[in-house]
A and B are shown apart, each in its own frame.
Chain A
Amino acid sequence: MTQSFSSAIYLDANATEPLRPQAREAVLRGLDQVGNPASVHHDGRQARALLEGCRKQIARFLQRDADCCVFTSGGTEADTLAVHAFGHAQGRRVLIGATEHDAIRKAAPEATIIPVDEHGLIRLEVLAQLLEEGGPALVCVMAANNETGICAPLDDIAALCREHGALLHVDAVQSAARLPFDVSVLAGASIALSGHKMGGPKGAGALVLAEDAPLSPLLPGGGQERGRRGGTPALPAIMGMTAALEASQAQDWAPIAAWRDALAETVQQAGGLCVAADVPCLPNTLSVVLPDVAAQTQLMMLDLEGFCVSAGSACSSGKVAASHVLQAMGLGERAGQALRISLPWNVEEAHVQAFGEAYKKMAQRLKK
């Protein structure tokens, strides 16, 4: 009985990527696998072999030992586990970027916030100062921001952490499948991944540790994942995530980046202001303010026209709040007037163009 938006154009990949066909096949294979990887019998061994194969593949992507990879239910759990395992409980101060995802913010409510500049980049001199203030620290930053796509200067951040003996945790949820990964820069960091942001199914993620080490689990359960994460691993979802990550490495993002840039032009001509101009950014993301028009209104209007985009961070009630990311960047009330357009891996140029037209129409109608 639901109203059909069969013709809806999906441009909200940073919320979740459409499933990649390779991931779909892998999930189906996983669904047909009977055994529990923890079981000692034949079917259990088969399941375990598949799971360990995935582990090896994910770890190899980051050039690490398979044993460094702890499978989780997703990015939020991976981030929470990292903070839980390496942060306050271990006597470390937690320093987090001002534009971090709630996965980190809510996991470390007492964290010290590292401010960002107007380009959304971590202020390195403040980070250095905070690290110098002494005491062991865990620094958590995201490789690329989910709302703006802005990429963090990870090499500089990692160098500062090394220099001060601080641990580094990087939330690579948005970037892993969309940007080449400079593994040498992040050699000492733990890394959070999420399957569905790469084109896998929802329900799997991973925390890839800098080195194989025991850590205190959030869910002790039956001691799965070598005591680091209890609960039967979601094998089909993990297989899907692994296949998605592999498929993403073969993707050429250049055309998508070009369409995104063209859209940025269109949007600016229509009166929109692009947030992350002139800084390194994900190839698929465009954050754009339409001055004096509430993001909620823009979102509704475009939804009714059949375009799926997002604004700020929608909470569980579906209410659109002003973006804390854009607020941290000093956008003030414009933080409540921004839309995020994030092109999925399978986007077509015609979709981007159609959105551009709809945006122009909307801007014309709503601009005060």
Chain B
Amino acid sequence: MSFFDFLINLFKRNKKVSIGLYGHPNSGKTTLANQIAKDWTGKDIGSASNIPHETRTVLKQEKIVIKDGENELDFDIIDTPGIATKIDYQNFLEFGLEEDEAKERAKEATKGIIEAIKWLDDVTGVLLVVDATTDPLTQTNITIIGNLEARNIPFIVVANKIDMEDANPNRIVSVFPQHTVVPVSALNGEKTDELYKVMFKKFN
């Protein structure tokens, strides 16, 4: 092995893998981040709720090591606020929030979207979390995927919420046939093993 190869290997080994969780609000990013963190470190990253835009700042969990036999993937997980094209405080009122509180939430959510997108410069891989009970063909998903392709960032489409009765992960597969789609339930950890296997292949 030449000195040059040695250097390349050294850098490869030290290359930090940062995996960002991106997707619509309420698609289950934080639930998935918590599931991964709980599986491999035993603790949660952030709090999840059914009110959209619960995560409004980027949350980071450093050094998660997942193992499968000889495979090992060492990465930081970056949980980002949900990306939307329209944020309307009135949508939060039905969850019992006061008007002022809802308006503040909308403002923070908008700031969160910009922060989430800025973090794309620092991630080396992305889990695009899609709610399998909704139509995946949205402007947000298409724009994010297009941008990830342009930036050459490897990504996995995670078809989440397969525990729900009206979930249709096959629709996501048929809409994004050229991309890797893994159906999971982040809530009860169903099929996350499959996801880890794909993560070894994609992000190592």
Answer yes or no: are A and B bound together in one complex.
no
